[in-house]
Amino acid sequence: MQDHLTVSNPELMALIYCRVSSSAQVLRGHGLDGQEARCREYAAAKGYKVEEVFLDDVSGGGDFMNRPGMKRLLAYMDDHPDTDYVVIFDDLKRFARDTEFHIRLRREMDLRRAKRECLNFNFEDSPEGEFIETILAAQGQLERQQNSRQVTQKMKARAKAGYWQFSPVLGYVYDDLPEHGKILVPNEPIAGIVKEALEGFAAGRLQSASEVARFLSAKPEIPKNKYGEYSAKQATDLLKRPHYAGYITIAKWNMHMVPAQHEALISYNTWEKIQERLAGNAKIQSRVDTSADFPMRGFVECSCCGNAMTAAWSKGRSRHYAYYVCQTRTCDLKGKSIRREKMEAEFEAFLQELQPSKALFQLAYVSFKEHWDRKMKQLGSGVEAAKAEVDKLARKAAALVDKIVDADDPEIASAFEMRLKEVSKQKALMTEKAKNQISPQGTFEEMYRTAMQFLASPWKIWASDQLEHKRMVLKLVFPERVQYCREMGYRTAGIALPFRVLAGLAPQNGGMVEPRGIEPLTSSLRTTRSPN
């Protein structure tokens, strides 16, 4: 009797791989859902059972192992070594668009005994089939590189015209304007906060990048990092960005300080001051532990050793007491504290005296107005010279770009790039000067009123409960820290230029306190007078 053996063909198992490289493909109907639907129809027509679907939404260029979906696909086949899968692609370009990685991925599939099938291409296991497949992969790579080159050329041309095209910097968002297209526009209220931080650092109200970071961290509108703060490194990067002065720099394209089309938040001169301060050292060091309890901590220095004094609360029998103290190890006065009330009362007495009379204000107004009028007559006289200098620097920058392109030695090219940066900065500075010569930032009355509100009475600002206001008075009235002596009080302190000017205008019989230092006016203490 002959046995009849039935051999059953098990159903082939299929894996679907879909990929898009941009959100625009989704909008045009070439998204992941559409690819998956077409691949499932193909599998049903072939009698395949779809076991898993793997999706990617990253660019097709580069190593396929950087695609999360492809990595999961290969790992899935490794976890099922006894199953021979059919891997279905919607299009050959979804497989790989780089010849080298196409061949490598094909080898990875072969090692896992996977059969590749594509809706618009037949994979043939023959030398001729591999040749055609390689040619098509190379064609895909050529198209990708040509598209990339075209996009880069368009971006460079737009950047030369002054348009930023990368992620918007803090304080700006992109808007589509008819006369410009996609362009950065200020994003309020964040733009106003960033402007305040930049101008505060330039003026010295914020002494370091750390202070700028704390200022921004305190604003709920400012986006924070994962630790819930705006870091000092982020603040340093913000302070260095020329975008806020109306310029863009793209180092990889050798574009430095290109006049931008977007609205600036600060002037170029302010930005230059910021860069100068970043390169130098602040005279009043920023402290993380400065609090409203001790506004002068870090500002007053010990007369014995010259180091900044610190401050702390000390517990007595019935309550706590506030003291300033020098903690320098080698100082003879180390640990010898001074009551906060005494030190700050003497300082406040000086501030109350440091204000001009109404008659002196009128005299200052006349003097400043005369100086303003003379300056206004000079405006415009150097415009043509400034424009000629800008044109000269533009030609020099263009010549340097040509030299960078033609340079064979990387060191020579790097030297030309450094020179190009300097020339670009000079050109931006001259452009800003020419602009300022044509249009002043405000009227004399506006400029005078803003300045004199502070000069009229720094004491009123100091009396505010806000620590930021107190620190502003310290930084604007005194260019350097002041010394305090336990026996004699405050030593002679230099005051800022505006107060010295007003003191020079004052008549002999008063109107403003003489800049003689700020020793306490008590007969019981022996005082000395500075030769200054």
Q: Which tens digits make up the pLDDT trace of 205-222?
A: 788 888 899 889 888 889
**Which superfamily is assigned to 13-146 in CATH?**
Resolvase, N-terminal catalytic domain (3.40.50.1390)
Confidence of residue 170 (pLDDT cuts 50, 70, 90): very high
Model pLDDT, residue 287: 47
Would you give the DSSP letter of residue 121? B
* Contact between residue 136 and residue 92 where contact means Cβ atoms under 8 Å apart: yes
Quote the Cα angle for 522-523-527, to 5°.
Answer: 75
Confidence of residue 101 (pLDDT cuts 50, 70, 90): confident
CATH 3.90.1750.20 region(s) of the chain?
172-279
Model pLDDT, residue 4: 42
Q: How many helices (H) and strands (E) does the chain have?
A: 18, 14
Model pLDDT, residue 291: 62
State the average pLDDT over residues 119-146. 69
* Contact between residue 346 and residue 318 where contact means Cβ atoms under 8 Å apart: no
Percentage of the chain beyond pLDDT 90 is 9
Residue 32 has pLDDT above 50, yes or no: yes
**pTM here?**
0.47
CATH 3.40.50.1390 region(s) of the chain?
13-146
Q: Which residue has the higher pLDDT, 430 or 27?
A: 430
Query: What's the distance, Cα to Cα, between the start and end of the chain in Å?
Result: 129
CA distance 32 to 20: 7
Q: What is the CATH number of domain 172-279?
A: 3.90.1750.20
Structure tokens at 314: 């000390």
State the average pLDDT over residues 116-139. 71
Model pLDDT, residue 240: 92
CA distance 67 to 60: 9
Residue 520 has pLDDT above 60, yes or no: no
Model pLDDT, residue 355: 67
Q: Is 246 left (phi over 0), alpha (psi -120 to 50) or beta?
A: left
Model pLDDT, residue 5: 39
Q: CB neighbours of 52 closer than 8 A, spacing ≥ 6?
A: 15, 16, 76
Q: Which residue has the higher pLDDT, 130 or 206?
A: 206
* Contact between residue 520 and residue 349 where contact means Cβ atoms under 8 Å apart: yes
